[in-house]
Chain A
Amino acid sequence: NAGVTQTPKFRVLKTGQSMTLLCAQDMNHEYMYWYRQDPGMGLRLIHYSVGEGTTAKGEVPDGYNVSRLKKQNFLLGLESAAPSQTSVYFCASSPGSGNQPQHFGDGTRLSIL
């Protein structure tokens, strides 16, 4: 039972570098989400997707891009990393039918120097 898998688990970047975080789910869920969690601020929604080929902005989308080319995968990209993007990133998925709970991965800890 893999559920939601995030890759990588840890990463250190230098300012200006780019990278892509991968999220994969094996539950055939329609909806997928990317959050960031900073100390004392809970989780904030970056982008989300309600189906393959669709994406939408969340609460804090600036500096990030996403793609959902395959239903099971949701990619989060940082084109030019900034220290303010140092955070723990969580991916989640949900069935998308009604008020179904979200299933979360264990996060990617990203540090931008």
Chain B
Amino acid sequence: LAKTTQPISMDSYEGQEVNITCSHNNIATNDYITWYQQFPSQGPRFIIQGYKTKVTNEVASLFIPADRKSSTLSLPRVSLSDTAVYYCLAGERDYKLSFGAGTTVTVRA
């Protein structure tokens, strides 16, 4: 189970791109990188998952360099509704994942 480090908070404005970088220096060969989003009074929600290079879906993009020691979640053109806590996890199997404090992203008008 790889320990992850991510910024505690980030501020942005509507329409901007938000990039959250997560460090996972001791990531193992079989570990995947997974990002979740959590709104107040709700459970976390899966956003995106990747192993290497780049993954894109309708919500976000995930960039993973060749050494896999870090990853960057990119949220394009954020809106007020993207204000949430974002968690980065790195592990082989879901049930041993550990959620840290996450990154609180605040989007302002």
List residues 13-44 of chain A with CB under 8 A from any CB of chain B.
31, 33, 35, 40-44
**A78 an interface residue at 8 Å Cβ cutoff?**
no
What residues on B are CB-neighbors of A45 within 8 Å? Answer: 95-98
Q: Is the interface of A mostly helix, strand, loop or mixed?
A: strand
Q: Which of B14-22, B39-47, B61-69, B74-82 contacts A (4 or more CB under 8 A)?
A: B39-47
What residues on A are CB-neighbors of B46 within 8 Å? Answer: 101-103
What residues on B are CB-neighbors of A94 within 8 Å? Answer: 94-95
**A104 an interface residue at 8 Å Cβ cutoff?**
yes
User: Are A104 and B45 neighbours in the complex by a CB distance under 8 Å?
Assistant: yes
Q: How far is the CA of A56 from the CA of B49 in the complex (A)?
A: 25
User: Are B87 and A42 neighbours in the complex by a CB distance under 8 Å?
Assistant: yes
Interface size on B, residues (CB 8 A): 23
**Minimum CB–CB distance for A43 against chain B, Å:** 4
What residues on B are CB-neighbors of A103 within 8 Å? Answer: 46
User: Are A99 and B93 neighbours in the complex by a CB distance under 8 Å?
Assistant: yes
Q: How far is the CA of A40 from the CA of B102 in the complex (A)?
A: 9
**B23 an interface residue at 8 Å Cβ cutoff?**
no
**Minimum CB–CB distance for A58 against chain B, Å:** 8
What residues on A are CB-neighbors of B99 within 8 Å? Answer: 35, 42-44
User: Are A99 and B34 neighbours in the complex by a CB distance under 8 Å?
Assistant: yes
Q: How far is the CA of A33 from the CA of B95 in the complex (A)?
A: 7
What residues on B are CB-neighbors of A31 within 8 Å? Answer: 94-95
**A79 an interface residue at 8 Å Cβ cutoff?**
no
Q: How far is the CA of A100 from the CA of B44 in the complex (A)?
A: 14
User: Are A104 and B43 neighbours in the complex by a CB distance under 8 Å?
Assistant: yes
List residues 62-107 of chain A with CB under 8 A from any CB of chain B.
90, 92, 94, 96, 99-107
User: Are A50 and B95 neighbours in the complex by a CB distance under 8 Å?
Assistant: yes
Q: How far is the CA of A41 from the CA of B101 in the complex (A)?
A: 5
Name B residues whose Cβ lies closer than 8 Å to a Cβ of A: 32, 34, 36, 41-46, 49, 87, 91-102
Name A residues whose Cβ lies closer than 8 Å to a Cβ of B: 4, 31, 33, 35, 40-45, 48, 50, 56, 59, 90, 92, 94, 96, 99-107
